Structure 1
Amino acid sequence: KWMGTYYYFDPSTNLLLDHQDYVKSQWGYYYMVGSNGALVTGPVRWQGSLYYFDPSSYLLKTSGWAEHNHYVYYVNSGDQKLVTGTQTIGGVRYTFDSNGALYSFTRRTIEWFLNREGKLTYSMLGSRNGTDGTADFSGAMTQALWSAGASAPVASAQRWGGYNTISIRPWLIQNGYSNVFNGTSSTASSYSPQYGDIVIWDDATGGDGHILIIADGSGSGATALSVCYYTEGEEGTAVQELNYNYYYNYAESPSFHVYRPNNWLRA
């Protein structure tokens, strides 16, 4: 291990491996090594097939669902490979792209923000939803969810570029979310972020409120995506992805409300 990353050195030459390979370690476990000699995690293509290596253990995942770097994957227990195309899992049909990533409502919501990184400037005075190159917290979230397949916002919300952080809450319920946690700074440690959660900070509207989506990871390692004022309005930097716990503390630990998808795998 060096600087937080594991590397593989050839037992015969002591040299750092300089090509991708699936190697056996000195303690008997097999790991995937990348072309730079570092162990690889997440989805990996190897000898024409896709596999998934756990980011915590670095070991091959042999079955079940996994979430990595904004996307969800499924490992077939039969051949231990990531599935692609349309698959029936537990009696439900799912569709995966050629890289094994699930097409889902949460994915489309997250991609709305990812596709606008470096392109939006924070403002409450413009369109609020990104159509003119500016957006604010809740206007952006309204547009992201609507674009992902949520029901159309009411006319008054559309007229003002989206809901605010109060009025968006019943709309979230209508579109497949449940309010699973309401907290303050004193109870914040009891909330463990999960992929797809939408979190609303504070109970005020306007610039005092905020709304984010947990876009990657869970627990203390989770990151949140949002349109925000973190860079104090610097042009083109409104979309930010930050560690959730760090950002919550940075924002001085406001009251918060968590809305979780009833089905985090919904199409």
Structure 2
Amino acid sequence: MSMNSESNFLRSPQNNEYTKEIMKPINLNKFKLTKLTTREEVIKMYWDEDMSQQQIAKHFKVKPSTVGRYMNAVGIPIKTPRQAANLKITVEKLDQLYKKEKLSPSKIAEIYNVHPATVQHYIRTSGIHRRTLSQAISLASRKNVNEDFFSIWSNEMAYVLGVLITDGTIEKNGEIRISMTDCDVVKAIAKAMDSENCLTECMRPKATKMQLMFSVGRRKFFEDLTSIGIIQGGRKTSEQTFLIVPDKYKSHF
């Protein structure tokens, strides 16, 4: 171990437990890392070269949790969140990445080579307003869609709305689903909403033919559909009693 590594290692707040930890009887053969590296090499990588557990795991092609368990077993102290982050990011930059650029904690952690939990910790302690669960789920979704599709009336919007009410489902969380055997219609709807990666094939109970389902959810859908009188929550067509459709778009509805 280098002098710098030794110095960093000794500064660990957990080092007073070091001797006690390594004196415990441990069967190291159960750890995959035992066959791939040595305790000294992991200490060097973690403390001297300032590699994260994720980076070490990637280097040895194992899971980060495997590295964590191995380090605990052989008495290698874990860095505090501040040590792990080695904060090279300002609150202003964190706010920009998280709120303005809408990056997830995992993505920010990947950029700065730290654990996602470290980023979440600094978001909390920096007073940055955290996303709601629905906002996080929406951003985490890999499905692309024009969130403003139902904001402005158009021929396409009127057509999709008509199909949605007659043959689809509108949930309270803003999720819309349309499932039909006429695949061309479903594909056309997905294309109109700039969301061609929201299509999946499905087979309904007792059905004899495969259906194509379009499914995507956004909070903005809930707000826009409510504003034009749509009753959400899986309601049937007959229950949509107060739907406002401009005259110029009724022929497409």
TM-score (norm 1): 0.25
- Greater Rg by CA: 2
TM-score (norm 2): 0.26
- The structure where helix makes up a greater share of residues is 2
